[in-house]
Amino acid sequence: MRDVWEPKVVADRATAVAEAAARLAAAARDRKPCAPVRDLLGARDVSLAYAVQQRVIGDRVAAGARVVGRKIGLTSASVQRQVGVDRPDFGVLLDDMDVTALPAVPSERLLQPRVEAEIAFVLAADLDDDDLDVERVRSAVGHAVAALEIVDSRVADWDIAITDTVADNASSGLFVLGRQAVGLGEFTPRDVTMRLYADGELASEGDGAACLGDPLAALLWLARTAREFGDPLRAGQVVLSGALGPLVPTPPGITVRAEMSGLGSVTATFSPRNPTDPDPDPDSDPDSRPDPAPEEFKEHG
């Protein structure tokens, strides 16, 4: 990641939000990564970046998408230090991001995808109380499943500061949920061990402690933050709680499988890219392109 820590005062915040949202929306629509939006927002104004995220999500909902949950990002302490923050971030999950039922993950919908294995919590109760603690959050979880989050960035070469990723819906892409539903009485999230295989080769491993020390702590942070934003977590929503290990690149045609102790496994095969679809970088071969994610973002979630 480049040196982006110069201060910036945004005089016309409404214009900055509109222009940043338009840039990110165009990148998603045209499937062509864009320049970072921190030139419009500054590198540290997280509240302004969330305003962009809300604009982007609001436009998608207005076009027919439906909110089905949230995702938590930046749960790794090393990545937090790198981008100069002391807390995670979050994004919104929409119904068209859930590709669990598809025979293959549609590679043509993605720009620079990476996959990470996570615990997904499915809520059975609202989390809108004034006093939220770990026990309250735990009691609201209906069950958990193994999950694969396919993170993606509309920003070229993953050249992101905190404002870029927050504005870009926390670098959300798609997600796949496992089919084995497990209650919290049957396993302890922080003790889960994970191994992620790419085309049969071990590519990533980790455990629940990698996610803010405990995925339930990440869920508590999100519940409190969502409530503060005036949009609390609701029964039926899915929460992707954060990566249990490093990110893995997912070129078209690859198959990834995550195995998690106590939760079973979840598998996703990425479709070959349709040869008639334009490549995000027409001057390069997507199968031979090096991993553009900077080293410090190999554990984005």
pLDDT score for 2 = 41
The tally of CA atoms less than 13 A away on the side-chain side of residue 230 is: 2
Name the residue among 284, 188, 219, 240 with its Cα closest to residue 68. Answer: 240
Q: For residues 29 and 85, which has the higher predicted lDDT (pLDDT)?
A: 29
Q: Average pLDDT for residues 33-38, to the nearest whole number? A: 97
- Token readout for 191 is 């003790």
In percent, the amount of the chain with pLDDT more than 90 equals 80
Please tell me the predicted confidence (pLDDT) of residue 85.
72
pLDDT at 5 over 90: no
Tokens of 121: 């919590």
Q: How far apart are CA 294 and CA 180, in angstroms?
A: 34
Q: Please give the DSSP secondary-structure letter assigned to residue 279.
A: P
288: left (phi over 0), alpha (psi -120 to 50) or beta: alpha
Instruction: Using pLDDT thresholds of 50, 70 and 90, give the confidence band for residue 185.
Output: very high
pLDDT at 9: 66
Q: Give the sign of the dihedral formed by CA 99, CA 115, CA 253, CA 109.
A: positive
176 phi and psi angles, rounded to 5 deg: -130, 130
In one letter, which amino acid is 235? Answer: A
Confidence of residue 8 (pLDDT cuts 50, 70, 90): low
Ranges 28-37, 39-48, 76-85, 243-252: which has the least confidence: 76-85
**Is 186 exposed, middle or buried, given 0-12, 13-18 or 19+ CB atoms closer than 10 A?**
exposed
pLDDT digits (tens, 9 = 90+) for 93-122: 999 999 999 999 999 999 999 999 999 999
Q: CA-based angle 72:153:242, to the nearest 5?
A: 20
Is 0.85 surpassed by the pTM of this model? yes
The C-alpha atoms of residue 53 and residue 69 are separated, in whole angstroms, by 15
CA distance 276 to 273: 8
